Structure 1
Amino acid sequence: MTGTARFLSFLCSLSVAVLVFSGPSGAAELAKPKGEVLLTLSGNVSNQNAGDKAEFDFDMLHALGVTKIETATAWTQGTKTFEGILLKTLVDAVGAEGSTAEVIALNDYKVDIPMKDFTDYPVILAYQMDGERLKIREKGPLWVVYPEDDNPKLKNKQTQAKWVWQVKEIHFK
């Protein structure tokens, strides 16, 4: 993805986020999910909709804007096209603060990702690969994806360890 395309994708995501999360007074309001909850955001989040947490269904994630990344992975054959939400956009939408995002998978596997990664690179939380929604057996429903092909310095074991799949929760600390 070119720099211009990334910038336009960011502007689109930001515009949608403002429309989705701004109430009449301009204060951030996070709607409650109407469908199955795919993702819970916890910890240092200021915009919540489920007690002290923020929950998202697919439509809520999709409404924040779609970002595409084309990259090869260590777990798939050839280059794949991933679609999802920029993690930076998600952080902004819930007012998350801190230095670390603890990403938790369905099997309770946990990885700490520096939140700086989300501003340094267009890291996405993918829900689609090659036009198909990710299923649990295909590393879904949500998968942290780094743009390795666009950033060769990300092709290393440290970055690969951050490619958490079957994501259910992100805890900000």
Structure 2
Amino acid sequence: MKKQVFLIVLIALCTGVLFADTVLTAKGIIALKNTEDGYAFTLEELKKMAGTTYVVQDPWMGECFYQGISLIDLLNYVGYPTNAKKIILVCSDKKEFTVTVNDAKLYPIILAYANKGKDLPQNQGGPLKLVFPVTTYPEIEKIYPKENWAWWVIEIRVEM
């Protein structure tokens, strides 16, 4: 009995350690999973992926030099069906925002994790913030107005 309790406690501790650093979970119709219901990313994993960097006029923060991972690169990493239609972004405050897969392919929309080389703090929308390339593609503001700049993104869900 003591061995069983010890084993349960050990597993719980290990699981907590392994997933304590998760900053983003990809769910929905994806091919690659490392958890029961999706793929859990750490900030370090996201930073190791091919990133996107651009200067943009953030509607809330002014001029920023964001670094992050594009939504389409994330989708390509976890695998998604070619007929998928939308990406739902869920924030820690339970707000949800939608970006179409077509727009993610057309524009370099990113989940930013840094500004000017420094990790995004929580009071600036970190650790992950949805950023639109409005400086380079001003027409995107008509599709995704400033209210769509989602702060505290913790989940993406790929749907039809």
Structure 1 length normalisation: TM-score? 0.76
CA contact (8 A) 1:35 1:58 kept: no
When the two chains are superposed, the root-mean-square deviation of aligned CA atoms in Å is 1.6
What is the aligned counterpart of 2:66 among 70, 82, 89?
Answer: 82
The alignment covers a number of residue pairs equal to 140
- Tell me what 1:65 maps to: 50
1:162 aligns with 2:148: yes
* CA displacement at 1:62 relative to structure 2: 1.1
Structure 1: runs of 5 or more not aligned: 1-32
- Tell me what 2:15 maps to: none
One-letter code of the match for 1:105? C
Which is strand-richer, 1 or 2?
Answer: 2
CA contact (8 A) 2:19 2:40 kept: no
**In structure 1, C-alpha distance between the alignment counterparts of 2:143 and 2:75, rounded to whole Å:** 25
Q: Deviations over 1:49-75 (max 9, x none)?
A: 001310000111112112101110110
One-letter code of the match for 2:66? F
Moved over 2 A (4+): 155-162
**In structure 1, C-alpha distance between the alignment counterparts of 2:64 and 2:145, rounded to whole Å:** 17
Q: State the percentage of identical aligned residues.
A: 25
* CA displacement at 1:160 relative to structure 2: 2.3
- Tell me what 2:31 maps to: 46
1:136 aligns with 2:122: yes
1:92 aligns with 2:76: yes
One-letter code of the match for 2:35? A
**In structure 1, C-alpha distance between the alignment counterparts of 2:48 and 2:145, rounded to whole Å:** 28
* CA displacement at 1:131 relative to structure 2: 1.9
Structure 2 CA distance for partners of 1:34 and 1:107, relative to 1, 3 Å? closer
Please state whether the residue corresponding to 2:136 is helix, strand or coil.
coil
* CA displacement at 1:35 relative to structure 2: 6.2
Structure 2: runs of 5 or more not aligned: 1-17
**In structure 1, C-alpha distance between the alignment counterparts of 2:143 and 2:98, rounded to whole Å:** 14
